[in-house]
A and B are shown apart, each in its own frame.
Chain A
Amino acid sequence: MIFYDIVLYGSAALSMAAAALVTVLAVRFYRDNSA
């Protein structure tokens, strides 16, 4: 039960963390490439 909770909420957290990381790094990438 606890394992399933961890997988369920952990997967949502991981996915959103990936979105946040990509946003930050993509902004930096576009700034560098449009300069």
Chain B
Amino acid sequence: MSAIDYLGVAIYFALLFYIGFRSVKQVSDSDDFAVAGNRITWPILFATLAASFLGGGASMGRAGQSFAEGYAFMFAASGFPIAVVLSGLFVAPRLKRYTGAYTVGDVIEHHYGAGARLFTGIFSLIFCVGILGAQALAIGTVFNTILGMSTTTGIVIGMVTVLFYSTFGGIWAVIQTDVVQFVMLAIFLPLTMLIGVHEVGGASALLDRLPDIQFSVFGSYSVGAFASLFVAFLLGETLVPPYTQRALSAPDSRNAKIGYTVAGMFGFVFYFVSATIGLLAKVLFPDITPDQALPELVRMAMPVGLIGLVLASLLAVVMSTADSYLNSSAVVFVHDIYERFIQPDLSERKRLWLERGVNLAIGVGAIVFALYASSIVEALLLSYSLWAPTVLLPFVIAVMWRISSRHAGLAAMVAGALVTGFWKWSPWHLEHVTGLTAIIPGCLANLVVLGSVLMIERGSGGPASFAGRE
């Protein structure tokens, strides 16, 4: 990389620090730290949500998978942007009914009581810290593969920057940096694709130089395997804590609806761009490993001056995801666990400083895990396959149909977790033997128990609903 490329990366980091300094003034209470005072209009919501859900997996991961398998993986993964569009049309607008809500746990408690909230809070925390650790590792990988810098130095530089602006500026800083990061990824990754298409000799040359199976919808997947993967993407990461927090940050239902729906539609475009980059790398550098597809195209095909900006965009992709999960971890711990179950009489000032302190502590913890105990990050990431079979369905059903129950929510969460865990990790390897991803039986168990407990409660004249805090 030349000096001008390093300058591009340096300007990007300087901009993040500048936003961090400026945002301190905008955060005067916990409302500002967690939901930006409910002032996030749809264009900002669109940018921050897209930047948050388009992380290392959607960029380098998607390029690597299409390098190996063609567009088929992208078609299967499109379950996720479909889920974002559907959430935008049906769930996000309804979340604005919950005045004063900050987290998924707030909504869950309203419908299912304190036990379900505690489960949701603890689970959300584990989930967010796991994803944060994974993004910290991805930041190190980007520095290492493109700059040749050690992974350790890369993790420290990237995560200390994220820690700085998110600790002082809270969600305000996260959202403002997300907008910068969105603009960078939305310009420079398509530009990388266009330059790659030019290198290959045009779109028709790309079509000619790869076998047809690389462009087919199912590729080498069986219909069952494709459907299983599609469902896993449709449900796996839908409405996880940082994304729900974005909907709660909107001023009204209309802004939440438009911001979410447009972000979902942008997801299709970005997935296509990333997957095409993988195919271009397959033509230009057939002997590399799939995970090198995007970094190699940047290194070999980009002109001097652009390499630095594309590197900054790749860092933007992972850092914008890391900052969102870090902020959510702090908000969930303070709001759903500490304030609700340990010290309910927190003053406004103490709560804000506690959120900042927890933000700092979790961020430092994530750096340490990523550097010295990546197996802990892997263990925490196991929670990824448990979100949909535990919290997601009771959450969506409650928001859509306003059901309430003292026992159904917690019972369904526990049942979903047990069945998913058994399917995935039992000695019989059911996921491997049946070819059915654990999320499907887990979600079915979750739904059956939710419905059964609701019917039993209503049949016995028990509490079909109870006073919530809406």
Contact = CB atoms under 8 A, between A and B. Distances in A.
Interface in A10-30: 11-12, 14-16, 18-19, 21-23, 25-26, 29-30
B370 interface: no
B39 interface: yes
B273 A16 contact: no
A13 to B, nearest CB: 8
A9 B272 CA distance: 11
A11 B203 contact: no
Given A1-B204, A29-B43, A15 B182 contact: no
Contact of A16 (B179, B186, B276): B186
B103 to A, nearest CB: 23
Contact of A22 (B183, B190, B203, B273): B183
Contacts of A4: 203-204, 207
Contacts of B186: 15-16, 18-19, 22
B187 A11 contact: no
A32 B285 CA distance: 48
Given A12-B193, A15-B266, A1 B183 contact: no
A27 to B, nearest CB: 10
B194 interface: yes
The A interface, classified by DSSP as helix, strand, loop or mixed, is helix
A5 B202 CA distance: 9
B39, B183, B194, B273: which has the most chain A beta carbons within 10 Å? B183
A15 B269 contact: yes
Contacts of A15: 186-187, 189-190, 266, 269-270, 273
B43 A11 contact: no
Contacts of B197: 8
B324 to A, nearest CB: 17
Interface in B264-304: 266, 269-270, 272-273, 276
A18 to B, nearest CB: 5
Contact of B179 (A5, A9, A26): A26
B191 interface: yes
A34 B197 CA distance: 42
A23 B44 contact: no
A6 B240 CA distance: 34
A11 B179 CA distance: 20
B273 A19 contact: no
B41 to A, nearest CB: 6
Contacts of B189: 15
Nearest to B192: A12
A33 to B, nearest CB: 6
Nearest to A27: B179
B179 A22 contact: yes
A23 B272 CA distance: 22
B183 A19 contact: yes
Contact of B190 (A11, A21, A25, A26): A11
A1 B190 CA distance: 20
Contact of A26 (B44, B266, B272): B44
A25 B207 contact: no
Nearest to B43: A25
Contacts of B179: 22, 26
A12 to B, nearest CB: 4
A26 to B, nearest CB: 5
A11 B194 CA distance: 10
Given A15-B187, A18-B269, 13 more contacts: A1-B203, A4-B203, A12-B193, A12-B194, A15-B190, A15-B269, A15-B270, A19-B182, A21-B43, A22-B44, A22-B186, A25-B43, A33-B39
